[in-house]
Amino acid sequence: NQKKETSSRSHGWTAAVKRVMNGGSMRRIQERVLGYKTNVSNSISDIWLLGVCYKICLDDPSQEPVNTSGYAAFSEDFSSRILMTYRKGFVAIGDSKYTSDVNWGCMLRSSQML
């Protein structure tokens, strides 16, 4: 029963991630990075993502680069890693009443990167 419950939760999470990834702004980011608008998808060069090399070799010159297994693996890896969310429902920070980082969380994350 617990396995079924975990599987159900996992499926819900997967569906939510797919909705976000296929949504407007995330789709545009993905298109830019994957090259749908910059012709990277037409390249036969290898693609590197976080130290992993994806081979985009064309055994058949008439084959499109986006139809190779290397490109498919890259696309799946990229899609599984990029997720930008806000957090909510955490214990209030100090004396504040904030239990979500909506509207201010990006400022905190930006300052942490400096």
Q: 47 and 94: one domain? A: no
Lowest mean pLDDT among 12-21, 35-44, 68-77: 35-44
Burial class (CB in 10 A: 0-12, 13-18, 19+), 89: exposed
> What are the pLDDT digits (tens) for 32-63?
666 554 444 555 678 888 888 887 765 555 55
Per the structure, how many domains does the chain have? 2
Q: 74 and 96: one domain? A: no
Which pTM was predicted?
0.36
Question: What tokens were used for 39?
Answer: 């012709």
Q: 65 and 40: one domain? A: yes
Q: 62 and 26: one domain? A: yes
> CA-CA-CA-CA torsion for 19, 20, 25, 28, nearest 10 degrees?
-70
Q: 78 and 90: one domain? A: no
Q: 18 and 34: one domain? A: yes
Instruction: Determine the structural domain holding residue 91 and report its residue range.
Output: 84-114
How far is residue 12's CA from residue 10's CA, in Å, rounded to a whole number? 5
